A and B are shown apart, each in its own frame.
Chain A
Amino acid sequence: MKIRESSALILPPYFFLTVFFILPVLIILILSFTHNRDWSQGITLKNYLLILDPLYLKVLIRSLIFAVLATLGSLLIGLPMAYYISFSNPKRKILLTLLVLVPFWTNFLVRIFAWFTILGRQGLINSFLLWSGIINEPLQLLHTSGAVVLGLVYGEIPFMILPIIAAMDRMDISLLEAATNLGANRFMVFKKLVLPLASPGIIAGSIFVFIPALGSFVVPDILGGRDSFMIGNTIKNQFMTVRDWSFGSSLSIILMVLVLLGVSAYLRQGRDQSMTLGEYL
């Protein structure tokens, strides 16, 4: 009886997910096999074959590269930050964790546009370089691939930092003292203890960054140029501009399958490496 009641309680979220997540995905899946919603022409695979066109293939590969770079960049910056925050005294830790979340208080578009004032021709970086005489002509920083990756890192990095902090918080400080006592210097303590023990957080953070980065279209729209748009932009264009919903749908499905395959492979590999770890954390 009790179990029945508690399963009744969980029904609303299931209902919500079915209606607002699974159904739309099913609709997209069906659409992707039609001749742009023209049901009279029957079903087709052409929307999927279209992706083999070098034009789209290039965008897809570029998107994967950007997402991987954004994940690596977030990890490179986020790991030392999480380490520092996690080992700060409790008061400072709360403050610093809060600061990681502060960007969420402002609209994402506004924050991305704010990069114009830094990367633009008259932006902070160019102004400084011109003023100090290092360059004579402003550098093209905006609307480049670099700007897109930078924007992705900037947008997603809190999702890298927070799970790593959570993983490090579970670490017993006496473990680090034990390692020091056994002759490990700071670097070795980090490498032999902190890193492996934080790996569940690193794995989670990487997934949280990689997935939204791969599907992103706002960042490349604003910070990218002609040669740096991503698969997200293509999908958006198919729906909003070209109005080929079926091709947009097939691209969405392909992206989703890629993410699922990538993440499950990553998790499987991560599990093998940290199997012993997962058992105890």
Chain B
Amino acid sequence: MNNLLEIRGLTKLFGDYAAVKDLNLDILKGEFFCLLGPSGCGKTTTLRMIAGFDAPDSGEIKLNGNNLVSVPPHKRNIKTVFQSYALFPHLNVFDNIAFGLRMSKKPEVEISARIKNMLETVALEGFEKRFPAQLSGGQQQRVTLARALVNQPEILLLDEPLAALDEKLRLQMQVELANLQREIGITFIFITHNQEEALTMADRIAVMDEGQIQQIGTPDDIYLRPKNRFVASFIGQMNFIELDHLEQTDEGLLLTANTGLQFISHLSNPNCETSDLCFGIRPEQVKMRRERPGNQEVGFKGVISNEVYYGDSSIFIVHLENDQTLSIMHQNYLPSGINLESFQEGEQVYACWNKRAGSLLPE
């Protein structure tokens, strides 16, 4: 209803290879939208078509209901933050930021005022006369952002802008970007292959693979209710149990893994082919116990083979009977600092999870 950008049946071919296949997407006004996927999934191609650098082979891109495809890139009010920053090396910070405003022939007085404002927003006051090569990576990043935002675009496209930054700076920029977007209210379309960036910043995420969108939803949706195996494996960690068949019983769904493992689940029956179905459960949804599982739980006996220590928590690799392996997250301390139960490699434990936990994932 208040869709700012509507993409319908968007397709881009490179020779015989479809980089983007029949893609449909609605982006709402003012949201922080994230296109997430591995490299080669078509997310950059999609962005380039929105910006107008590449022309689609078929499909529509509508901004406020007007078709964009025939509009040349320099006339679209959609600005881009490039992965390589693409700052003009022969212009100083002021002239870089002024570039777009000068192209649209704004009076110099207004340009100065807007740039002053913008530099405040990105905390770069006093850097007007510096040249790009005299700035650090993080500062260049801000200039690129300012150069795009100062034009007050309807949409800001960000192409993996944080990829070149070191870990610490990236975390800081994630928070800053999210705050900035909320403050100025411009619609952001953020491209990344980094799930953490998507989960921390986005209002909604579209997970892409092989030129198609696999799932669209809030970070919560995507993490807790992945729609298929790709999404589940791409976002966070997931244990997969390949299923042989499933059967509706009085107690719930009786799942039989191809390893012979059998257990009850209270998930709803997905009513699809079982052959390509699997049961996914996240490491933090599985508990390790020395005692037998409770009533509401499924539990299997296994042996701890490895511990991967992360400080506050550890990931334990547990071998169940029938060759099934599970990763289990174990909290090492309570917030009060009290040590929790500790486990040793080689120890026999029960791996348990709630019958309502996990998800049934199609291929």
Query: Which residues of A does B touch, CB under 8 Å?
Result: 172, 174-175, 177-185, 188, 192-193, 196-197, 274, 276-277, 279-281
Contact = CB atoms under 8 A, between A and B. Distances in A.
Interface string B82-123: 101011111010000001100110000000000000000000
A276 B88 contact: no
B210 to A, nearest CB: 26
29 contacts: A174-B82, A175-B86, A175-B89, A177-B51, A178-B80, A178-B87, A180-B52, A181-B73, A181-B79, A181-B148, A182-B99, A182-B103, A182-B148, A183-B75, A183-B100, A183-B103, A184-B74, A184-B99, A184-B103, A185-B72, A188-B103, A192-B99, A197-B89, A276-B89, A276-B92, A276-B131, A279-B131, A280-B89, A280-B132
Contact of B88 (A178, A180, A181): A178
5 nearest interchain CB pairs?
Answer: A183-B103, A182-B100, A178-B86, A174-B86, A280-B89
Interface of B: 51-53, 72-75, 78-80, 82, 84, 86-90, 92, 99-100, 103-104, 131-133, 147-148, 151
Given A188-B103, A276-B131, A280-B133, A182 B89 contact: no
Contacts of B51: 177, 181
Contacts, number: 73
Contact of B73 (A174, A180, A188, A277): A180
Q: Give the interface SS of chain A, mostly helix, strand, loop or mixed.
A: helix
A35 to B, nearest CB: 55
A179 B96 CA distance: 10
B104 A183 contact: yes
B86 A185 contact: no
A15 to B, nearest CB: 40
A174 B132 CA distance: 15
A180 B74 contact: yes
Given A177-B53, A276-B90, A185 B131 contact: no
B74 A172 contact: no
Nearest to A188: B103
Contacts of B90: 196-197, 274, 276-277, 280
Contacts of A177: 51, 53, 73, 80, 82, 86
B257 to A, nearest CB: 49
A181 B131 contact: no
Contacts of B72: 185
B86 A172 contact: yes
Contacts of B53: 177, 180-181
Given A184-B103, A197-B90, 4 more contacts: A175-B89, A177-B73, A279-B133, A280-B90
B151 to A, nearest CB: 7
Contacts of A192: 99
Contacts of B131: 276, 279-280
B45 to A, nearest CB: 14
Given A276-B131, A279-B131, A280-B90, A182 B82 contact: no
Contacts of B92: 276
A181 B80 contact: yes
B89 A277 contact: yes
Contacts of A277: 89-90
Nearest to B151: A182
Nearest to B75: A183
Contacts of B87: 178
Most B Cβ at <10 Å: residue of A175, A185, A281: A175
Most A Cβ at <10 Å: residue of B51, B82, B92, B148: B82
